Amino acid sequence: MKIVVLDAYTANPGDLSWDPLYALGQVEVYDRTAPEDVVARATGADAVLVNKVKITREVMEALPQLRYVGVLATGYNVVDIPAAHEHGITVTNVPAYSTMSVAQMVFAHLLNITSSVAGYTSEVKAGKWSRCEDFCFYNVPLTELDGRTMGIVGLGNTGMAVARIAQAFGMKVMAMSGKTAETLQALGICKAASYEELFAQADVLSLHCPLAEDTLHLANAGRLALMKPTAILINTGRGPLVDEQALADALRAGRIRAAGVDVLTEEPPRNDSPLIGAPNCHITPHIAWATAEARQRLLATAIENVKAFANGRPQNTILP
What are the catalytic residues?
238, 267, 286
Alpha-carbon distance 178 to 158, whole Å?
15
Q: Among 249, 207, 203, which Cα is nearest to 225's? A: 249
Strands 189-191 and 172-176, how do they pair? Answer: parallel
Residues facing 28 on adjacent strands: 4
- Inter-axis angle of helices 117-125 and 99-115, to 10 degrees? 50
